[in-house]
Every structure is written in structure tokens, then in C-alpha cells.
Structure 1
Amino acid sequence: MKDIFVQSRCDICGQVVPKGKFLCRDCQTKLSPVRYGYCVSCGQVYVLNENPYQCLQCREAPPSWSGLGFYGVYDGLLKQLILEYKFTQKLSLGRVLAFLLYEAYKSHGLDRQDIILPVPMHNKKLRERGFNQSLELAKIFARKIDTPVKRRGFEKQKHTPAQSILNRTERLANLKNSFLISSNILRNKKILLIDDIMTTGTTLEECTHVLLQGGAKQVQVLFLARAA
């Protein structure tokens, strides 16, 4: 009878789940990962659900990173969870989102790196939001693969308008000279760069470029959701 009072519940909807689980079957179904129909280099999702292949843009101008992984499309329940975590500080969702990152890391076959690095946030934005969602996710995720997270050494030195309101050309100009390597701790290291959402890829591309120019040996990128 005592087990009646010690039940596991879904971290998302609160439904009772088997002991040791933290997602119910309904929520797991709504969080189906992208397995087919995407670009292996940038994550662009295609209309047809076919084997992954490199898109024309990436064939003509390959990204600077050496590997990419992501969980799903920025839509539906995944989008809802990211927005709640990011803007309402519902930090209890961190376990779910870090689990999805881990699933993406495994399914995309990313190599183990020396350092996990979250995309940095400018101090002004950090004060406004109260936390860096990429850092908090990285800290939980890091425990799953036993790799250290570095909070310092790579910084955003320029406060910029939100990327979401800009087109690709404006995004590139907006981010120019925004990121700075502030120590030698990243030199000759293999880095796993973590973010929550990728839209055009300009933020991750700029970060990767700066890290490689600053002496990083390799950069792979991992994020939760790919926007259309």
C-alpha cells in the first residue's frame, strides 16, 4: 500500500508514470525526434521524409563546425517546452530538455569532446532574463557524458538586438565582433557548443568561427530544435 503515496509523475503533464520514468507515453509521442529528411550539415528539415543528405547551400559553403546534432523541429510540444523554460523560468523542465539533448547527441553520433561550451549571453540580457538557458541545459547534459562545462573563456562582449527579428543578412551584421575568447583555456581543445534553437545558424556559425580562429582544435554543435 505504501507505493500508492510514492508515485512517479510525468515532468510535463503530471500523469502517473511507471516508477523510474519521468515522461508519459503521450508526451513522448508528441516529442518525436527528427530521424529522416534533414541536412546533415545544418539541420534544415526537408519536406520529404528521406535519408539525410547535405543541402545545396552547405555543399556550396559548408559550415565551420565538424559535426551537428539536434532533436527535433521547433514546433508543437518541443517549442512550448523551450519557451516555458526560457521565458517563464520553469527550470523543472531542464531535466526533460537535457534528456532530449542527450538523445540527439547519441542519435547523431557526435564525438566526445574535451569541453562543453554553452552559447554565451551578454551580461545585460543575462540580468534581464535571470539565467542563461543554454548554460543550465549544458550543466545537466554534461553529467550524462561526464564532460566538463566551461562558463568562462568565451564571452559575448556586445549587446545585440534579438536575432529573431532580423533576416539572415542583418543577423550576420548584428553578430559581427560580438563574441570574444578571453583566455587560453579553449586552445587546442575539442569543443561541443550547445544552444537551444537554431534558426538560420548565424549565431552558431559565428561562435564556431571565433573559436576556431582562437585556437580550438574542433567544434561540434548540439541544439534542441531546428526552426523552419
Structure 2
Amino acid sequence: MSVSISALTVRTGLSQMKESLLDLLFPRRCAGCGKEGDFLCAACSNTLAKLEAPVCARCGFPMKGRNTCPDCGGLALAIDGIRSPYLHEGLARDLVHSLKYNNLKALSRPVARLMAKYLESNPLPADSLMAVPIHSKRMRKRGYNQSELVTGELSRLAGLPRVSGALIRLRNTPSQVKLGAHERRANVAGAFVCRDRAVEGKRVLLIDDVCTTGATLNACAAALKEAGAVTVWGLTFSREC
């Protein structure tokens, strides 16, 4: 046992030394203003546009001046609810884009930190975290799943276990960028499967970078509930409106 603890201590120390050396050679700079010190400074964090209440109780769409949700009104959903701390605009959009497409994996830390802060004041029913998976072809091309990176950081910050590998994306669905709400739901219907009973009896919190219509999160929730999940909520960093 002492050998294992010693090895872990050495590995942790080496990891910290490596990170310190990288910080020395390549100082951390804010993705918003370029100021040295952190990947996202406090001042820029405060400029992120918050998604304010009232929002749809199910999909989290802003409901100001509305009685019926334009996104999910009248639809039968598998997802129990979706929440997002920020609007997908300005700096929030830039952060997601850089994390997702520019290989700036370190941005998963401030993104997860802000999501953890949101959960502190807006708790959601969850005893485990799970990232929305990407298809194996996309994984090979990009080299990483940005939502998995965020989930790992959030698991550490929120003290909730992460379930990995249970939810699988079966189809490499076409990009949803130019699709409407109904087209998005049809595009991802049946695209996911959960082949692991690790979620049975669990309250799962799905993690993703951005929510547009909630179609992907809903398709994931359907697969998880088929595998025995009791409840499935979604939490994304930002929400398109």
C-alpha cells in the first residue's frame, strides 16, 4: 500500500512540476482579454451574458413575454429538464468554439468552474455526471471530446462521480448547425444507445457545451432511461436562443 501511495505522490508531484514548467514557458492568458494569469480572468467572466429567469421549466428556453415555450411546447420529452448559465453569444460563444475546434483544451477548466458555480446556487437532481458522446469518427478527427473534458473537471469540482463509456453514439449524424428544431430531433432520433447498466437507478446529469434545441440531450436521455436511469437532466455551458 505504501508503494502505491508513494507512486501516486511522485506522479502528482511530477504532474504539478510539468504544469508549473508549462506555465513558465507559456504563461496562461485570458481567452477574453489576453491578460496573463488565468485562462479566463474574473473581469471577463463577469461580462458573460447570463441566461436570466424566467425560463421554460423543461428545456430552459427564455420565457420572457411568453406563455408557451417555442422550443418544446406540446412535445413529449425524455429529458426531465435542461439548464444553462449563459447565453450563447459574445465571449461564451468564443469560449465554446475555441474549446471545441481550436484545440484549446485548457478552456475546459474555466468552463467547468463556471458551471460548478452555477450548480451551487441552482442545484439539479444528480448523483452522477455523464458527457454527451461524439461519434468515433469525429473523435478520431478531433482527438478529444470537449464535453468529456468539461465533465471530468466538473466531476472534481462538484464532487460527483463521472460515468464514462456507457453512452455510445451509434450514428455519425450530419451537422445540425443549419437544421431547424424538428429536423434536429429527427436527425438524432435513435442515434444513441446505453449498453451499460451503470446508470440503472441513477439520477444522471448530462453535460454538454451548448444547447440549441435540446434535441441531442433529449435523444441521450431516451437511451439512458431505457437503460434504467431514474431521471436525466441536462446542463450546458450556454444556450442558443
TM-score by length of 2: 0.79
- Structure 1 SS opposite 2:204: strand
The CA distance in 2 between the partners of 1:157 and 1:86, in whole Å, is 21
Residue 3 (structure 1) aligns with: none
- Mapping 1:1-228, distance limit 5 Å: 11-12=30-31, 13-15=33-35, 23-46=40-63, 55=69, 58=72, 60-61=74-75, 63-111=77-125, 113-228=126-241
**RMSD, aligned α-carbons:** 2.5
Where does the alignment leave 5 or more consecutive residues of structure 1 unmatched? Answer: 1-5
Identity level (%): 30
Alpha carbons of 1:176 and 1:63: their partners in 2 closer, same or farther (altered >3 Å)? Answer: closer
* Count of aligned pairs between the two proteins: 215
The CA distance in 2 between the partners of 1:62 and 1:108, in whole Å, is 25
CA contact (8 A) 1:70 1:105 kept: no
Q: Which amino acid aligns with 2:202?
A: K
Cα deviation, residue 69, structure 1: 2.2
- Deviations along 1:126-174, one digit per CA (max 9) or x if unpaired, are 1111110110000001001111111111100111101112222222222
TM-score by length of 1: 0.83
The CA distance in 1 between the partners of 2:39 and 2:88, in whole Å, is 22
CA contact (8 A) 2:167 2:194 kept: yes
Q: Which amino acid aligns with 2:85?
A: Y
Alpha carbons of 1:100 and 1:63: their partners in 2 closer, same or farther (altered >3 Å)? Answer: farther
- Deviations along 1:87-118, one digit per CA (max 9) or x if unpaired, are 0011121111111211222232213x222110
Runs of 4+ that moved beyond 4 A:
56-59
Residue 6 (structure 2) aligns with: none
